[in-house]
Structure 1
Amino acid sequence: MNSRKEQLAAFNRLLDIMDELREQCPWDKKQTLESLRHLTIEETYELADAILDNDLQEIKKELGDVLLHIVFYAKIGSEKKAFDIADVANSISDKLIDRHPHIYGDVIVENEEEVKRNWEQLKLKEGKESVLEGVPKSLPAVVKASRIQEKVAGVGFDWEVPQQVWEKVQEELSELNEEIKAGNKENTEKEFGDVLFSMINYARFIGVNPENALEKTNKKFINRFQYLEKAAKKEGKQLADMSLTEMDVYWEESKKFFR
């Protein structure tokens, strides 16, 4: 691996290139904080995909794309005389030191859970009125639900054991079933949301990341369905003309390759 000197030299090279592009490239010169926003979100999702695929080379590339965006935002910030890359780095360094008194202070913690609780308490001392202020409004719903539950748990608002959460899931499923039988669309939607929220909470208790779990299932389904499509095509068949029984033969075959 590279030495710290080589790492700093590489980062300095990136900063120099960013300066040159901002000055000389027509596209880079036009970009603003707002115009980069959707691109940053896209790059973040691409990084997330690479992580789920456990593709280390792709992770390296996508991290580079995300790092470029951070440097780009800092460059624009310096042009506005608001902040530069040093301010960004110092800001996060100061936050990390303040939020880790068990490392840089005299606070003693026993485990990871105590670290999380201290983290949320420190945020409130910094002036936040709610532990939920740090949850971005634009997060996808599954991720948002997970973050909400993690944050309130950090201040002690939580179940004690997984069995309690599972019983809550069962309760919500029962309530959903009642609304479905009653034919109340609005209440059915609410209860369905409650079921999802309780399942996401249960996932936390059993050590499963719900977003990752669902995305892995999405990918598995895509792979299996595309296997079905290709197998049918080889046989000269169209899916629309096949019965479910016929399609199920190929679907069961796909499970041998995509688990």
Structure 2
Amino acid sequence: MTLNSLNKKYDIQDLLKIMAQLRSPDEGCPWDIEQTFETIAPYTIEEAYEVDDAIRKKDMPALNDELGDLLLQVVFHSQIAAEKNLFNFDNVVSAICDKMIRRHPHVFADAHYRSAEEQTSAWEAQKAVERSTKADHVPSALDGVPTNLPALLRAFKLQKRAARVGFDWPETIQVLDKIQEESIELVEEYQKGTNRAALKEEFGDLLFVMANLGRHMKLDPEECLRSANIKFERRFKEVESKLQEKGIKPENSNLAEMDALWNIVKAEEKQDVIAEN
């Protein structure tokens, strides 16, 4: 197959043909040919994060490109599956269309919901029914939370699922008390300094309950940590810039100097905020 890209408007069929040729044993790309579901999966996750990054930056040209990269991942997996006679791209499209119609009876049938919350409950109930029909499935309130989500996000979702069946503290102050309890246990284990496995467990418990606090406060812990990462990166780069103005590299500075510059950067940011308002 020869595709001339000059002024051509491509469609999904072209993309499917391109991927088929890339995977062709006779005339394909060696790298593409050797890929599997497992080797491609990390790229799929990476592309989803790059879509998210473009949206957060409000970079629409980048979003256009990144959505294409993400679509390529769907086509790539579908091509591998087709070669193994498992399913193909048309099956993927048909399955998601069927699922969306089935899960939106208020749009495609005659169901009626009084609120977004009622619709969400119906959505979750429908998903539970679908999961229960799978062979050898033992129902659980935690069904459907992917194991490969980022750990903080998965903690948030697990706690949200458990809360739906009443396994939750009724008051936020109780979560704050639990954080204090877990913090004390972590300090105690750290002071012992002998059992790394126990220290790891206590640290995990503290992170887990912190995610639960975010849920109680209606804060997305993943989003909060992402914002904290961005803030840290921005401020540290400003510290590096101020050191560079002095002709000093960070590795040739010391904590006291860098901490003082950090405080200056924080104060400058606050002044900028005040000026903007």
After the TM superposition, which residues 75-94 of structure 1 pair with which residues of structure 2 at under 5 Å, given as runs? 75-94=79-98
Taking the TM superposition and a 5 Å limit, the aligned residue runs for 1:195-234 are: 195-234=206-245
Does the 8 A contact of 1:165 with 1:201 survive in 2? no
- 2:6 paired residue number: none
The Cα shift of 1:87 comes to 0.6
Aligned match of 1:12: 13
When residues 57 and 204 of structure 1 are mapped into structure 2, their CA distance, relative to the original with a 3 A threshold, is: farther
Distance 1:156 1:103, change over 3 A: farther
Alpha carbon RMSD of aligned pairs, Å?
Answer: 2.9
Question: Which has the higher mean CA deviation after the structures are superposed, 89-98 or 41-50?
Answer: 41-50
2:181 to 174, 177, 201: 174
Q: Of the candidates 39, 43, 67, which is equivalent to residue 39 of structure 1?
A: 43
Match of 1:73 among 56, 77, 88: 77
Residues 152 and 9 of structure 1: is their aligned pair in 2 closer, same or farther, counting only changes over 3 Å?
farther
When normalised by structure 1's length, the TM-score is 0.81
Map Cα deviations across residues 109-128 of structure 1 (whole Å, 9 max, x no partner). Answer: 22222222222222222215
Give the counterpart letter for 1:177 in structure 2: I
Structure 2 distance, partners of 1:180, 1:213, is 24
Shift of 1:149: 2.4
Gaps of 5+ in 1: 1-7
Structure 1 residues 95, 158: CA separation in 2 closer, same or farther (over 3 Å shift)?
farther
Q: Equivalent of 1:60, from 58, 64, 84? A: 64
Contact 2:239 2:258 in 1 (8 A): yes
Does the CA-based 8 Å contact 1:117-1:156 persist in structure 2? no
Between the two structures, name the one with larger relative contact order (CA 8 Å, sep ≥ 6): 1
Q: How far apart, in 2, do the equivalents of 1:12 and 1:30 lie?
A: 23
**Equivalence for 1:4:** none
Alpha-carbon distance in 2 for matches of 1:181, 1:30? 51
Alpha-carbon distance, 1:179 to partner: 5.3
CA separation of 1:205 and 1:123: change in aligned 2, threshold 3 A: same
8 A Cα contact 1:116 1:154, kept in partner = no
Structure 2 Cα separation of the partners of residues 10 and 75 of structure 1:
17
Say if 1:247 and 1:194 are closer, same or farther in 2 by CA, change over 3 A.
same
Q: For residues 166 and 122 of structure 1, what CA distance do their matches in structure 2 show?
A: 33
Q: Decide whether the 8 Å contact of 1:123 with 1:131 is kept in 2.
A: no
Report matched runs for 1:111-122 at 5 Å: 111-122=115-126
SS in 2 for 1:82: coil
TM-score, length-scaled by structure 2: 0.76
Change (3 A) 1:195 1:165: farther
- Aligned-pair CA distance for 1:190: 4.4
1:146 corresponds to which residue? 156
2:23 counterpart SS class: helix
Residues 1:25 and 2:28 aligned together: yes
1:105 is matched with 109
Shift, 1:83, TM fit: 0.9
Given that 2:19 and 2:76 are in contact with CA atoms closer than 8 Å, whether structure 1 keeps it comes out as: yes
Question: How many pairs align?
Answer: 249
Contact 1:52 1:212 in 2 (8 A): no
- Distance in 2, matches of 1:112 and 1:194, equals 33
Tell me the distance in 1 between the aligned counterparts of 2:165 and 2:109.
Answer: 21
Structure 2: distance between partners of 1:178 and 1:137: 27
The structural deviation recorded for 1:178 is 5.3
The alpha carbon displacement at 1:159 in A equals: 5.3
Q: 1:131 to 1:240 in 2, by over 3 A?
A: same
Per-residue CA deviations over 1:35-76 (Å, capped at 9, x if unaligned) read 212222222232333333333322222211111010111112
Taking a change above 3 Å as real, the CA distance of residues 173 and 31 of structure 1, as seen in their structure-2 partners, is: same
Cα deviation for residue 158 of structure 1 reads 4.7
Tell me the distance in 2 between the aligned counterparts of 1:154 and 1:36.
35
Using the alignment, how far apart are the partners of 2:122 and 2:223 within structure 1?
Answer: 27
Q: Distance in 2 between matches of 1:156 and 1:16?
A: 51
